[in-house]
Amino acid sequence: MLITGKHLPRRTFLQGMGATVALPMLDAMIPARGLSRFAAAADPTRLICIEAVHGAAGSSPYGATQHFWAPAITGSGFDLTPSALLPLEPWRKYLTIVSNTDVRMAEAYKSEEIGGDHFRSSAVFLTQAHPTQTESSDIYVGTSFDQLYAQRFGDESPIPSMQLCIEPVDRAGGCAYGYSCVYTDTISWASPTEPLPMIRDPRVAFDQLFGAGGTAAERAARRRSTGSILDFIVSRVNELKRELGPGDRERMDQYLEHVREIERRIQRIEARNSTGEARELAGAPAGVPDSYEDHIKLMFDLQVLAFQADVTRIFSLKTGRDASGRVFPESGVSTGFHNASHHGNSPKRVTEFYEINKYHVSMLPYLLQRLKETTDAGTSLLDKTMIVYGSPMADSNVHNHRRCPLILLGGANGQLRGNTHLRAPDGTPMANALLSVMHKLGHDDLTRFGDSTGAFAL
Q: What is the 3-state secondary structure (H, E, C) of 137-198?
A: CCCCCCCCHHHHHHHHHHHHCCCCCEEEECCCCCCCCECCCCCECHHHHCCCEEECCEECCC
Range with lowest mean pLDDT among 272-281, 345-354, 392-401: 272-281
182-207: average pLDDT: 95
Q: What is the pLDDT of residue 250?
A: 87
User: Is pLDDT of 140 > 70?
Assistant: yes
Q: What is the pLDDT of residue 219?
A: 59
Q: What is the pLDDT of residue 3?
A: 37
Q: Which is nearest to 323 in space by CA: 165, 174, 168, 140?
A: 168
DSSP code at position 75: B
Q: What is the pLDDT of residue 6?
A: 55
Q: What is the pLDDT of residue 380?
A: 96
Length reported for the chain: 458
326-321-292 Cα angle (round to 5)? 45
Q: Which is nearest to 320 in space by CA: 267, 356, 374, 278?
A: 356
Q: What is the pLDDT of residue 4?
A: 41
Place 77 in a pLDDT band, splitting at 50, 70 and 90: very high
Tell me the pLDDT tens digit for each residue of 198-250.
999 999 999 999 875 555 666 566 666 657 888 878 878 888 888 888 888 88
Q: What is the pLDDT of residue 393?
A: 97
Contacts of 230 (CB under 8 A, 6+ apart): 19, 21, 237, 256, 259, 260, 263
Range with lowest mean pLDDT among 202-216, 313-327, 402-416: 202-216
Coil, helix or strand at residue 273: helix
Q: What is the pLDDT of residue 14?
A: 75
Place 383 in a pLDDT band, splitting at 50, 70 and 90: very high
pTM (2 d.p.)? 0.93
User: Is pLDDT of 36 > 60?
Assistant: no
How much is the CA Rg of the chain, to the nearest whole Å? 22
Q: What is the pLDDT of residue 19?
A: 74
In whole angstroms, what is the distance from residue 305 CA to residue 400 CA? 37
In whole angstroms, what is the distance from residue 117 CA to residue 396 CA? 10
Q: What is the pLDDT of residue 40?
A: 47
DSSP code at position 329: G
CB 117 within 8 A of CB 341: no
From its phi and psi, is residue 67 left (phi > 0), alpha (psi between -120 and 50) or beta? left
5-31: average pLDDT: 74
In whole angstroms, what is the distance from residue 117 CA to residue 173 CA? 17
102-122: average pLDDT: 94
Contacts of 301 (CB under 8 A, 6+ apart): 258, 262, 370
116-133: average pLDDT: 96
Scanning 274-336, the segments in alpha helix (DSSP H) are 292-309
Domains within the chain, CATH numbers bracketed: 1-21+207-287 (no CATH), 43-200+299-440 (3.40.720)
Q: At what angle do helices 364-373 and 292-309 cross, to 10 degrees?
A: 30
Q: What are phi and psi of 162, to 5 degrees?
A: -130, 145
Contacts of 278 (CB under 8 A, 6+ apart): none
Q: What is the pLDDT of residue 225?
A: 62
Range with lowest mean pLDDT among 12-16, 230-234, 322-326, 341-345: 12-16
315-325: average pLDDT: 94
Share of the chain above pLDDT 90, in %: 71
Q: What are phi and psi of 105, to 5 degrees?
A: -65, -15
In whole angstroms, what is the distance from residue 356 CA to residue 230 CA? 39
Q: What is the pLDDT of residue 229?
A: 82
Please tell me the chain's helix, strand, coil percentages from 3-state DSSP, rounded to the nearest 5: 40, 15, 45
